Structure 1
């Protein structure tokens, strides 16, 4: 079982590095930059208070918390495009939620 009390920050960085993004520290989050696109990435231990504004955002959570996080985001209906990446303990991942008309990372 993944350590659900700590956010998967190392895994989130690895995912975006492997996708060819430049990862730039930004406090508790990081920015993933590639070509014209910049995605603000938040690694979440279990749930998070989603910001109300932004553009492209990605939330990375352990697999067992990703569905709950997606539900929280749907209910809060933020004004930006977002995705949730579910990370498994072994490092595999999948995009758990991308709203219909939203851009995937």
Structure 2
């Protein structure tokens, strides 16, 4: 089992690097940039609160936290588009929730 209290930062950066994004460190988060799009990425642990503001956001979390995080974000109805990526032990991942946008990530 993955350490759910430690955010999967290394895995998040690897995912976005492999998708062809430029990863730019920005404190506890990072920005993933490709072409005209920039996404603020948060490696999310089980005890964090989601930000209230933003534009395009992606939360990368351990698989065990993905459903609860998606529900928390849906219930809070933030002003930004968001996605959740669930990381499994070993580095595999799946998009647990993608934004309703027609724009491809």
Inter-partner Cα distance in structure 1 for 2:43 and 2:57? 11
- Alignment check: 8 A CA contact 1:83 1:104 kept: no
Report the CA distance shift for 1:75/1:46 in structure 2 as closer, same or farther (over 3 A).
same
| Distance in structure 2 (CA, Å) of the matches to 1:66 and 1:75 | 14
Alignment partners' CA distance in 1, 2:72 and 2:92: 23
Q: Are residue 23 (structure 1) and residue 23 (structure 2) matched?
A: yes
How far 1:49 moved relative to its partner?
Answer: 1.8
Q: Which residue of 2 aligns with 1:40?
A: 40
Q: State TM-score, norm by structure 2.
A: 0.93
Question: What do you get for the CA RMSD once the two structures are aligned?
Answer: 1.3
Per the normalisation by structure 1, the TM-score is 0.93
CA distance in 1: counterparts of 2:104 and 2:98, whole angstroms = 7
Residues 33-75 of structure 1: CA deviation (Å, up to 9, x unaligned)? 0000000000011143222221100000000100000000000
